[in-house]
Structure 1
């Protein structure tokens, strides 16, 4: 740890040409200004010693072993790298958002750990779909695997003991990251956040008289719990979405109050809260967890979208259970999520199934099953993903160093994107973009502040007459221009319906209806175009998104892209409209 004086290293701009994939169409920007020198206070240097993990795990020394890979690096303010086409716009951006300079540490991170973004020429703005893994995290994990032998945790061999130690370290790291006490909480590793949510749904003691309360603006994995609830006679109660997603706190409290548990005999009630919508960008206040708990509800937090860019403290908001996916937080590894759950709540969950690893004794033939003495083992089916759990520990350490800076950086980029996209016009002067998601109501100014929304922009492109341009055309064009974004309903049909204003159409659906049937009924493709920023996002990415929108707005370039779209996909004009 240490400090760097602002006078020691003045950040500069390196202007360089990106891959030809990004410069096939010449783009220009207006206005320019010289970069002001930084006069803010110095920033801390963060470093993570990669070698320490081997010492901690008592790795036996090897003769002539190669040295460990370079450390994560001491990240300091150095230089920013942008394309020459974006240079003038970047100067102007820094004049409007001088606080962006406080996040130079993330520019260093991008340069050291995400070099492939520059070499491949891809602009990645789908962090809500999955974060991009840092190269150093993969390097550290690969080195660890080549230096050690890991075995199935269900044994007492040396390799098994090391795997178990790594698993325990990962559980401790998860609790530390989310500020949860090991006396109060347990960590259950799952395949992803959906697996964690399913675990609660299948194990929760729904009964006649039970209520399952959730928001319309929720992921399908949260909606899916209603299948378990209704199968056991419980009632499903929805909190309606506002036109821009999320819900009104007063409405949510009224619904919770009306459906609260009346007595112990009426059946337990579960409230599932979406911390941040993956489509509408809304953040729901975690304080409503405390209110629901006071009414007698068990509480479940879907934090898959929230955890990547926001601080969550289980000591401040002690939810009964919380679901996360680590690949959405730091990109690697995929295939591991977690249910962080109160031990007192865990004892009330009953698995309808058992498998190897979560039992102590099974009577065969017969019906007697003795579950494992370890609570978390009762809910982890078979063998856990022991080979990649060490990467979870390192990934959380990695993210901890940068998370304080991330909301401020994303706040600057979000305000720039919202303003710039709103200004994109057709040749006729009419708007080309309609932003449907919630936008930040306040601008962050300090490192450590938390935003009132996420870092997502859900929008649709419209033609000069105001009609929606097919999302499939937008996604096709983006892929041809090396821009990774996402279109569709994002597995969040309630949030999408609210923003698109088709909630009444949603009510008219019949059993067996398909998405194509629904699209024909409403007259256009369902869903939105989603731009989502994350850990490695920078101004160049945001600028490229705006330039792409301008290409769609300009009739000449739009017609060229449209011709390629029809020739490649075989879609007739009007079929998708």
Structure 2
């Protein structure tokens, strides 16, 4: 998995304050005790991106967009070098501007662009479900359409992974990728599953269920509140093999490199430590941004398994597929695999039956519907909780399909490909402009751009204080890293009123949607409270209440074993390389409206006046 741009990236890390891949050793993962001059300069620049020590107690006192944009560029002179991303957005994703809708609720890799969808005959795809043995598929392959081969080659290049080292199979979605791996992993031999997630994950839950059904043991990393750093001593204790006689077979270590909810980044060295102690490492790359696979660490610590997902179009109703990469030297671990139902083949789409589809008519038919939707509002965009990317393709095709073998389907498909391409003039070339755009910008530009925007947003949200308060009660509480060079492009936060009561995240999300801003929500888990602030005491009371409610007829031993895990709801904002400054400014301006104690009630009456109906907000 060696990267062709390691030297470029390594130099840029020091020159542009990019996060260093080795930051935070597992043994001593702790807050920065000392800051390098470059990091100190970045934090200082972020403070000046608004006003020095600025506090805003009224939404009308915020500087306007132009003034704020000017301040950002003065604080981050290199931000202007990322204007290429603005040009791509204007030319290829212009619906983001025309719709006047801010999308901050998605994460992942889009294969195609809006422009490509609306104005070309670019081929899109559908999926065919298949029931095959995973190990056989990995070692011997199977019937594969040329279209699928091209996609595989493109994804290998984009993910910076060598096909000489890894095998790739496609799954129906992200959750299916987790389930396929878990169902085929030998938990009867390697009995442990150790996951590093600070939030609820439907995909990980499927893996946990599969492990427990085979009497496996499930453990999790624990995170300190509210910065959400890994409690390294506890995790190290779980990872390290204490057996000195022989190398103990541990199990599966599932590791995301960064939280897709809080943006907290973790050290690559956790993977190395796990491998040294007999674990098989599964890297969850779904939270990684575009080109993040080209960082230095991944060329040094090659995981045994890797999971990621792709979708068709940013903003389209989620439809895509998941990817499961297996290191060829580790394929034998799955030799006793079972028949997996989550695996799929990918074929080109057309107006023909689903199982015989090529590009052309479906793309042209979709164009009208998509254009109409885009003219009124932005198409519903994929949730940043990428597990929601469940394929909505028709799972059961015609009776004719059921009677055909898969090889027969592909044989007929190839015939139609040739005939239709010759009659319609459709090019056999496949463009993946979504991936091409990320490649053209590169890791350094994308990471720099997103870093400037996310840290400006964190600083801006922290500047909002409730009025008439001597202590300056903050409107927003952020969970995870604050202003830091090495933070992910995600912000988890909650809004609190002037009395200190939390505004429900679902309510904030709903009101944001009325202001044409798409946010998402999540639930933090595996949290350990160190300092008991008022908010933490409220959460602990909630946990105690759950424990009391679950007492019933449970014995003390059962209650201890089944101790409930509280979920802490939060609002989640995700930035990508298509995000621009106006997007984050509009979010800041919206959140500032909660400084008005009557904002929620005003919105309720405003909605009633416009819609002539009462709807619970």
Q: TM-score range by the shorter chain?
A: 0.5 to 0.7
CA distance in 2: counterparts of 1:252 and 1:382, whole angstroms: 50
Deviation at residue 356 of structure 1 after TM alignment: 11
Select the residue among 321, 339, 345 that pairs with 1:353: 339
Note the residue ranges of structure 1 that are not aligned, 5 or more in a row: 1-25, 32-84, 155-160, 360-379, 443-451, 514-521, 572-577
Among 422, 435, 438, the residue aligned to 1:399? 438
Q: For the residues of structure 2 that align with 1:163 and 1:149, how far apart are their CA atoms?
A: 14
Cα distance in 2 between the residues matched to 1:282 and 1:149: 35
Aligned pair count? 443
In structure 1, the partner of 2:151 is 170
Matching of residue 207 in structure 1 with residue 188 in structure 2 = yes
How many Å apart are 1:568 and its aligned residue? 4.1
Counterpart Cα distance in 1 of 2:130 and 2:273: 40
Is contact 1:308-1:328 (8 Å) kept?
no
> Is residue 192 from structure 1 mapped to residue 176 from structure 2 by the alignment?
no
Measured after TM superposition, the shift of residue 318 of structure 1 is 0.7
Q: Please, which moves more after superposition, 231-240 or 194-203?
A: 231-240
- Whether 1:319 aligns to 2:358 is no
- Return 5+ residue gaps in structure 2 as ranges: 1-57, 132-141, 346-405, 418-427, 551-563
CA change 1:145–1:346 in 2 (3 A) is same
CA contact (8 A) 2:109 2:434 kept: no
Go from structure 1 to structure 2 and tell me whether the alpha carbon gap of 1:126 and 1:358 turns closer, same or farther (over 3 Å shift): closer
1:294, distance to aligned residue in structure 2 (A): 1.3
Residue 338 (structure 1) aligned to one of 318, 323, 330:
323
1:29–1:89 Cα contact (<8 Å) kept: no
> Would you say the 8 A contact 1:207–1:267 is kept in 2?
no
For residue 455 of structure 1, what is the aligned residue in structure 2?
Answer: 489
Q: For residue 393 of structure 1, report the CA deviation from its aligned partner.
A: 4.8
Q: Can you list the C-alpha shifts for 1:439-477, whole angstroms capped at 9, x where unaligned? A: 3422xxxxxxxxx22111111110111111122321221
Cα distance change, pair 293–423 in 1 and its aligned pair in 2 (3 A): same
In the aligned structure 1, how far is the partner of 2:548 from the partner of 2:254?
Answer: 26
3-state SS of 1:351 partner: coil
1:412 — aligned with what? 452
Q: Which has the higher helix share?
A: 2
Quickly say closer, same or farther: Cα 1:260–1:249, change in 2 above 3 A: farther
CA offsets per residue over residues 491-519 of structure 1, 9 Å max, x none?
Answer: x5446999974478558757998xxxxxx
Find out whether 1:569 has 2:611 as its counterpart.
Answer: no
The 1:260/1:321 distance shift into structure 2, 3 A limit, reads farther
1:552 aligns with one of 594, 599, 603: 594
How far the C-alpha of 1:394 sits from its partner, in A, is: 4.5
Alignment check: 8 A CA contact 1:222 1:302 kept: no
Decide whether aligned partners of structure 1 residues 400 and 481 sit closer, same or farther in structure 2, where only a CA change above 3 A counts: same
Distance of 2:408 and 2:186 partners within structure 1? 23
Shift of 1:262: 7.5
Residue 204 of structure 2 is aligned to residue 222 of structure 1? yes
**Match of 1:233, SS?**
coil
Q: Deviations over 1:532-553 (max 9, x none)?
A: 1112111101110111011111
Mapping for residues 423-572 of structure 1, pairs under 5 Å = 423-429=463-469, 430-442=473-485, 452-489=486-523, 493-494=525-526, 501=536, 502=539, 526-563=568-605, 568-570=614-616
The structural deviation recorded for 1:275 is 2.0
**Judging changes above 3 Å, is the alpha-carbon distance between structure 1 residues 108 and 356 closer, same or farther for their aligned structure 2 residues?**
closer
- Mark the CA change 1:123 to 1:149 in structure 2 (over 3 Å): closer, same or farther: closer
Give the direction of change, closer, same or farther, for the CA distance of 1:505–1:232 in structure 2 (3 Å limit): farther
Contact 1:307/1:324 (CA < 8 Å) preserved in 2?
no
* SS class of match (1:300): strand
The match for 1:421 is 461
Q: What is the alpha-carbon distance in structure 1 between the residues aligned to residue 87 and residue 211 of structure 2?
A: 48
- Asked if structure 2 preserves the Cα contact closer than 8 Å seen for 1:134 and 1:331, the reply is no
Q: State the 1:302 CA deviation.
A: 1.0
Give the conservation status (yes or no) of the 8 Å contact 2:62–2:589.
no
Q: 1:456 to 1:309 in 2, by over 3 A?
A: farther
User: Structure 1 residues 209, 383: CA separation in 2 closer, same or farther (over 3 Å shift)?
Assistant: same
CA deviations on 1:232-291 (whole Å, 9 max, x unpaired) are 222222221122224144442222015789757x65511111222121211112222122
Alignment of 1:73-88 (within 5 A): 85-88=64-67
Given candidates 227, 252, 255, the residue that maps to 1:270 is: 252
**Residues 385-435 of structure 1 deviation map (CA, whole Å, 9 limit, x = unaligned):** 999x98785543332112421111111111211111111122324321111
Q: Does 1:143 align with 2:127?
A: no
CA–CA distance in 1 between the matches of 2:242 and 2:545? 25
Moved more, 318-327 or 164-173: 164-173
Deviations 1:134-170 (A, max 9, x none): 3234358x51339x9999999xxxxxx9972222222
Maintained 8 Å contact 1:190/1:337: yes
CA contact (8 A) 2:114 2:313 kept: no
CA contact (8 A) 1:125 1:483 kept: yes
Going from structure 1 to structure 2, the CA distance change for 1:480 and 1:354 (only over 3 Å counts) comes to closer
Q: Does 2:197 correspond to 1:247?
A: no
Superposed displacement of residue 172, structure 1 = 1.9
Cross-structure match for 2:389: none
Q: Could you say what secondary structure the match of 1:336 adopts?
A: strand
Give the Cα–Cα distance (whole angstroms) in 2 for the partners of residues 119 and 395 of structure 1.
19
TM-score (norm 2): 0.62
**Residue 146 of structure 2 is aligned to residue 100 of structure 1:** no
- Give the Cα separation in 2 of the matches to 1:307 and 1:276: 10
Deviation at 1:131, TM superposition (A): 6.4
Task: Report the equivalent of 1:291.
Answer: 273
- Note the C-alpha offset of 1:295: 1.2
Q: Distance in 1 between matches of 2:109 and 2:540?
A: 28
**Alpha-carbon deviations, 1:161-206, whole Å to 9, x = none?**
9972222222222222222222210111112222211111100001
Cα–Cα, structure 1 residues 354 and 462, in superposed 2: closer, same or farther, change >3 Å? Answer: closer
Partner Cα distance (2:114, 2:276) in 1: 45
Q: Structure 1's 291 and 91: CA in aligned 2 closer, same or farther, altered over 3 A?
A: same
Aligned to 2:55: none
- Partner secondary structure for residue 529 of structure 1: strand
